[in-house]
Amino acid sequence: MLEGLVSPENLSLSYADMSVPERLKWLQQHQQQEVLSLSSNDSPDLLQILQFHGSNNDELLQSTFSHFQMVGSGFGTNYNMGFGHSHEAMDGCISRTSSCQIHPPDTMGVMLKNSEENRAISLKNKRKSEVKTREEEKTEKKIKVEAETESNISNKEASSDTSKETSKGASQIQKLDYIHVRARRGEATDRHSLAERARREKISKKMKYLQDLVPGCNTVTGKAGVLDEIINYVQSLQRQVEFLSMKLAVINPELELGVEDLSVKQFQAAYFTNFPVVIASKPSVMVDVPLFPLDQQGSLNLSVSNPNQTSIDAPSESWETQSQSLFASVLR
Amino acid sequence: MERQIINKKKRVFSVEPNKIPPSEVFTRKYTSHLVPALKKLNMNKNSSQVNQLTVKHEVDMALALSAQEFAWSRFLLQKLSSSNNPTTATSSSSNGIRIQERSGKEGGGDEDGEIEEKLRELQKLLPGGEEMNVEEMLSEIGTYIKCLELQTIALKSMVQDTT
């Protein structure tokens, strides 16, 4: 059960980046945009994957984002634990979480709709409320502590005496995570089912994301169908890779790999626009390409990597003109 | 010389460091891993017959190396290195125990059982998927699919280039 409680924190880990007022502003700003942005995201690339990753645990984040440079958001500050780069992640996470809610999130606490718990709702919504009954206090405190602490302070058995101070301290030192969970009327609102509901929502969110990723999944409804499609797609991709590698093995001796990296640009063109890319004829000699003329191309952000040390006595001038014409044709 | 080339590569890229799409980063990394490996294979093999298995191995290795940010690449690397050393046994840990946990909570009917099965299958497809829990696996699958797609495009254009 601890797991179940810990995981919702990870969901809202991205909230850790901002203080509450900033966060509210951010949410209000982006609420209207999020619907549009969600629908208009048609070319998910790794950027979105990494946004998605923002909802996962610490280590993964720290290992993943060290490799990618993310576009800074309007905040531009680096918070502790190096999560400055997860602004995009937060953006994606916020837009996703807010899309799960019916009303605009006016509170930052755990939200319950159960009529019996209405008082608890209003109480929880305020961060440092004093008016509570003893029992509710304890449960609320515990939930809040777990909601507020990040994964390194995840001890469920934190003493209720110190939990209030720690929660306050935690909220000051570490940014707050909040779980946005809606309890429908009559549903159990105890911690276990809350956590489980949060977990299930997380999973369904990921399923939706996968649905967008895998082509042809939109028509299918229901988890089973989507999972089927995903399985088929992964299998077909793996088979394709195997087939291509077999082909590669066959033609390996004749491989002209000297100008291989030029086609990286073609990859993107092929990938995003589905246009057939015409590959210009290349010299079939492996040479050390002088990079200087390539840099002058300006818009090309490629360079040819040719670790092959054998340089062949091709006249460098003709090679330069050849490569420039090659790039010109590629750019077209 | 190689280092020069790599440095020049970096210099060219660093013009706009924040705006390189990760797909491009991956593709470049991938080709830069695979191409030299294939060349080495070419040169090392005296016989003209290039073993298909070794090419597959290189292909997978390049994939794992270019995607080290993700968990599945670690598992893939493990698998590859263990296949090189047949002495190390790959231990397959709990096969979907975490899924069974979940089905207990769901109070599963047939439908849920189906879904569990499918999730388990998916786990098998993903390298290392069996050692992750469901949520982790789902996000890893997303990145895995992406990298597979990029890989197929890279391989396709490599094959096209030479034919």
pLDDT at A235 (0 to 100): 92
**Residue A127 in this model has a pLDDT that exceeds 70:** no
**Per residue in B95-130, pLDDT tens?**
444 444 444 444 445 677 888 888 888 888 888 877
pLDDT at A168 (0 to 100): 47
Q: Which residues from chain A sit within 8 angstroms of residue B122, using beta carbons? A: 227, 230-231, 234
A182: left (phi over 0), alpha (psi -120 to 50) or beta: beta
Comparing alpha-carbon positions, the chain A residue that sits nearest to B50 is A249
Distance (Å) of CA B81 to CA A1, B71, B72: 36, 16, 14
Q: Could you tell me which residues come within 8 angstroms of residue B140 by beta carbon, excluding any fewer than 6 positions away?
A: B70, B71, B72, B126, B128, B129, B132
- The CA distance from A141 to A262, in Å, is 59
**Using an 8 Å Cβ cutoff, are B41 and B56 in contact?**
no
pLDDT at B49 (0 to 100): 56
In three-state secondary structure terms, A172 is: helix
Tell which residue, B120, B150, B147, B146, has the closest CA to residue A231: B120
Confidence at A248, pLDDT banded by 50, 70, 90 = confident
**Residue B17 in this model has a pLDDT that exceeds 80:** no
pLDDT at B4 (0 to 100): 58
Least confident window among A16-20, A258-262, B155-159: A258-262
Distance (Å) of CA A310 to CA A11, A21, B158: 53, 62, 22
Q: DSSP string spanning chain B?
A: -HHHHHHHHHHHHTTSGGG--HHHHHHHHHHHHHHHHHHHHHHH--SS---HHHHHHHHHHHHHHHTTTSHHHHHHHHHHHHHHSTTSPPP---SSHHHHHHHHHHT--HHHHHHHHHHHHHHHHSTTGGGS-HHHHHHHHHHHHHHHHHHHHHHHHHHHHH-
Mean pLDDT of A134-141: 44
Test A248 with B59 for CB contact under 8 angstroms: yes
Which 106-145 residues of chain B touch chain A by CB within 8 A? 111, 114-115, 118-119, 121-122, 125-126, 134-136, 138-139, 141-145
Distance (Å) of CA A258 to CA A215, A308, B12, B26: 34, 8, 19, 20
Q: At what angle do helices B71-84 and B52-66 cross, to 10 degrees?
A: 150
**Per residue in A294-321, pLDDT tens?**
344 444 334 444 434 343 444 444 444 5
Test A271 with B52 for CB contact under 8 angstroms: no
CA A115 to chain centre: 36
3-state secondary structure A18-49: CCHHHHHHHHHHHHHHHHHHHHHCCCCCHHHH
Burial class (CB in 10 A: 0-12, 13-18, 19+), A128: exposed
Token pair in block for residue A190:
């105890």
Token pair in block for residue A79:
């918070």
- The CA distance from B35 to B55, in Å, is 11
Test A209 with B142 for CB contact under 8 angstroms: yes
Token pair in block for residue A307:
């670790």
Please state, for a pLDDT cut of 90, what percent of chain A lies above it. 3
pLDDT at A294 (0 to 100): 39
Distance (Å) of CA B95 to CA A226, B80, B123, B131: 22, 20, 9, 8
Q: Which residues from chain B sit within 8 angstroms of residue A308, using beta carbons? A: 39
Mean pLDDT of A190-194: 87
Test B145 with A238 for CB contact under 8 angstroms: no
**Using an 8 Å Cβ cutoff, are A105 and A27 in contact?**
yes
Test B18 with A71 for CB contact under 8 angstroms: yes
Token pair in block for residue A127:
């961060």
pLDDT at A24 (0 to 100): 58
Test B22 with A45 for CB contact under 8 angstroms: yes
Burial class (CB in 10 A: 0-12, 13-18, 19+), A87: buried
In three-state secondary structure terms, A152 is: coil
**Residue A185 in this model has a pLDDT that exceeds 70:** yes
Of B38, B121, B160, the CB nearest to A231: B121
Number of alpha helices (DSSP H) and beta strands (DSSP E) in chain A? 13, 0
**Per residue in B18-49, pLDDT tens?**
667 777 777 777 777 777 777 777 776 655 55
pLDDT at A236 (0 to 100): 92
Say which amino acid occupies B125: L
Instruction: Please give the mean pLDDT across all residues of chain B.
Output: 71
**Per residue in A12-63, pLDDT tens?**
444 455 556 555 555 566 555 544 444 444 444 444 444 444 444 444 444 4
Please state, for a pLDDT cut of 90, what percent of chain B lies above it. 0
The ipTM of this complex is 0.72
**Residue A238 in this model has a pLDDT that exceeds 80:** yes
**Using an 8 Å Cβ cutoff, are A71 and A150 in contact?**
no
Q: Could you tell me which residues come within 8 angstroms of residue A57 by beta carbon, excluding any fewer than 6 positions away?
A: A10, A13, A151
Of residues B1 and B77, the one with the higher pLDDT is B77
Q: Which helix (H) or strand (E) holds A157?
A: none
Q: Is A1 touching B (CB cutoff 8 A)?
A: no
Confidence at B71, pLDDT banded by 50, 70, 90 = confident
> Across chain A, where does the E strand assignment appear?
none
Where do the H-state alpha helices sit in A252-306? Answer: 263-273, 292-295
Test B143 with A49 for CB contact under 8 angstroms: yes
CA A238 to chain centre: 23
Of residues A110 and B84, the one with the higher pLDDT is B84
Question: pTM of the prediction?
Answer: 0.46
Instruction: Please give the mean pLDDT across all residues of chain A.
Output: 54
Of residues B96 and B79, the one with the higher pLDDT is B79
Mean pLDDT of A124-135: 45
Of B8, B155, B161, the CB nearest to A241: B155
Widest distance between CA atoms in chain A: 87
Test A263 with B157 for CB contact under 8 angstroms: yes
Of residues A57 and A204, the one with the higher pLDDT is A204
Q: Is the dihedral of CA A255, A259, A264, A266 positive or negative?
A: negative
CA distance A214 to chain B (A): 8
Least confident window among A106-120, A215-229, B77-91: A106-120
Of residues A210 and B23, the one with the higher pLDDT is A210
The count of CB pairs under 8 A between chains A and B is 223
Mean pLDDT of B126-139: 82
Of B68, B138, B148, the CB nearest to A241: B148
